[in-house]
Amino acid sequence: MSTQVPSPSLGATIKQLREGNGLTQQQLADYLEINRVVLAYIESGERKPQLHVLEKLASLFGLEVADLLAPDVDTQNLNAAFAFRSAGSLQPEHLAHIASFRRIVSNYLKMKRLEQAQSTHEG
């Protein structure tokens, strides 16, 4: 018998990430350049986001698009470590800078994992 917790839906994952980072629906919708009502439909599971929206979400939260579609606990924990808490005054351009920074950190961590894996295989 499995003790794994079922993965949340895409909409629930997006909502969890948004709330965990202290963003309002309006702030996230502005960053994504979509209507807040559309974001509400996405979070409720009534509407699927377009690919460019998924890509912007992944960048903002320091994830790969695949991580949004099939989240895992390790990825969620890593994201929580980089959560920003003073999001009340953030503008869409601030979120774009955060997304760029998170992408850099994510790529750096991937390179470190590859480096460690390579040294393990060589040693």
Ordered by start, the domain boundaries in the chain are: 10-122
**C-alpha to C-alpha distance for 114 and 64, rounded to whole angstroms:** 16
Reduced to 3 states, what is the DSSP secondary structure of residue 66?
A: helix
Amino acid 109 reads: L
* Domain 10-122 falls under CATH 1.10.260.40: yes
Identity (one letter) of the amino acid at 24? Answer: T
CA dihedral over 39, 41, 53, 62, signed as positive or negative: positive
pTM value?
0.63
Q: If pLDDT is split at 50, 70 and 90, which confidence band does 81 have? A: low
Q: How do residues 32-55 score in pLDDT, each as one tens digit?
A: 999 999 999 999 999 999 999 999
